[in-house]
Chain A
């Protein structure tokens, strides 16, 4: 549906037709909103069977929102018809875009798909290789801006990269990162770690809060933006967010390795030995969900279980950083109320949003076996 800036002027062209055998004078009025506010009108004559396009210069409402459009047609002092536009008009301020991601760094750039064990108060957990990511944001505006970035490893798609109508284009995120949510309360406890595609430079619920992300307060000191943590980019300045992170613990799959030649066996073990080690007799067994193969002469195991990178894990991966949201404050005395510490507080600063931004680094990491 059409979207316009508040207070902007746009032409609406409508073709009117007189289906009757007699000519008449008409007055058409364009209205917007549920209250049918009259925005523009035109008087015209149509001969029998005649059609005529008419353009109405419409000043858009000053308040953001969605407005239905109505056409009211009078003739001879009576309303003879009303019409509803098939599309509503969206009145919205175009979000400013200007926050820049000026630096992205990952260290080290060569990682493995290995799985590491760690202890929690709730038992053992697992994560992948550690790395450090640093993201630098620049703020060209003369007001502070808060961003809440996400990053993901994946593949640049090769086409146009960036945001198109609010959707990120040109990057496909892969599930290579580690997400940890450690809950420890009287009601629920557990280590809810799992692999994820997009990750924030901090962990959920503020755990592992070494990042410089913090809660947002307006200039009056009133907490805003809920219980989410954001990075503050000072007016006209830079900020670098540095965060220790881990790859996912689920980048490996089990595989069988031949103890004779060291090759990873993807098919039948018997067929591998028949083809590659003729004369070596092996016996394979399977019982109760377990299985194995040993040398028939009793000299040991014919295969051993190893972990190898899952399909698509080994190799180069691109990195994408996005700031889906960026917020700033506009002075607007008495624009709202909120409850702080059980007391009602009047808000003098209105939250506005900037458009999302994205940046990518090709071949940011190489994951080896």
Chain B
């Protein structure tokens, strides 16, 4: 999935790749996205990053939680983000994908996926045993 900047400043960290499955998912199922981060600076840094689905920036409908990691100067690393798809009250919906990156609690940059994630609910039914009259 390709990303573009939603807010923040470029140059602090790069996301070279965000890999995830087919962007249409069953509600309340868990899926993992893999992000390849790169530190373009000449010093190593600690980062906190969070991937969430939402309608607008900061609207965290479901989130992976904050993942902390370090990157040496010029280093790269893949970080996994596990997200449980939201429970819906309508048969299907779509959400933006946001990837937020902070350093010592200060927001560096937020990326947004160039395509949305679709979430749907498939019908299911449970039955009791049969009672005959």
Contacts and interface: CB of A to CB of B under 8 A. Distances in A.
A19 B133 contact: no
A139 to B, nearest CB: 35
A83 B123 contact: no
Nearest to B125: A73
Interface in A26-85: 26, 28, 46, 48, 69, 71, 73, 75-76, 80-81, 83, 85
Interface string B117-133: 00001111111111111
A361 B121 CA distance: 72
Task: Tell me if A's interface is mostly helix, strand, loop or mixed.
Answer: strand
Contacts, number: 78
B90 interface: yes
B82 interface: no
Most buried by A among B28, B88, B123, B131: B123
B133 to A, nearest CB: 4
A13 interface: yes
A123 interface: no
Contacts of B126: 16-19
Given A11-B132, A21-B87, A22-B90, A80 B127 contact: no
B84 interface: no
B121 A22 contact: yes
Contacts of B89: 21-22, 48
A28 B125 CA distance: 10
Interface residues of A, number: 32
Contacts of A80: 122-125
A75 B123 contact: yes
A20 B128 contact: no
Given A21-B27, A22-B90, A22-B91, A11 B133 contact: yes
B121 A21 contact: yes
Contact of B127 (A48, A83, A89): A83
Interface residues of B, number: 20
Given A13-B132, A15-B127, A28-B125, 15 more contacts: A14-B128, A14-B129, A14-B130, A16-B125, A17-B127, A18-B125, A20-B27, A21-B88, A22-B88, A22-B91, A22-B123, A71-B130, A80-B125, A85-B130, A86-B129
A24 interface: yes
A46 B121 CA distance: 14
A342 interface: no
A126 B90 CA distance: 89
A12 interface: yes
A81 B133 contact: no
The 9 residue pairs across chains A and B that have the minimum distance between CB atoms: A75-B123, A24-B123, A15-B128, A17-B126, A22-B121, A11-B133, A13-B131, A2-B132, A21-B87
A83 B125 CA distance: 10
Nearest to A57: B133
A205 interface: no
Nearest to B87: A21
Contacts of A69: 130
Given A21-B27, A22-B89, A48-B89, A85 B129 contact: yes
Interface in B89-133: 89-91, 121-133
A10 interface: yes
A73 B28 CA distance: 22
B19 to A, nearest CB: 29
Contacts of A75: 123, 125
A85 B87 CA distance: 31
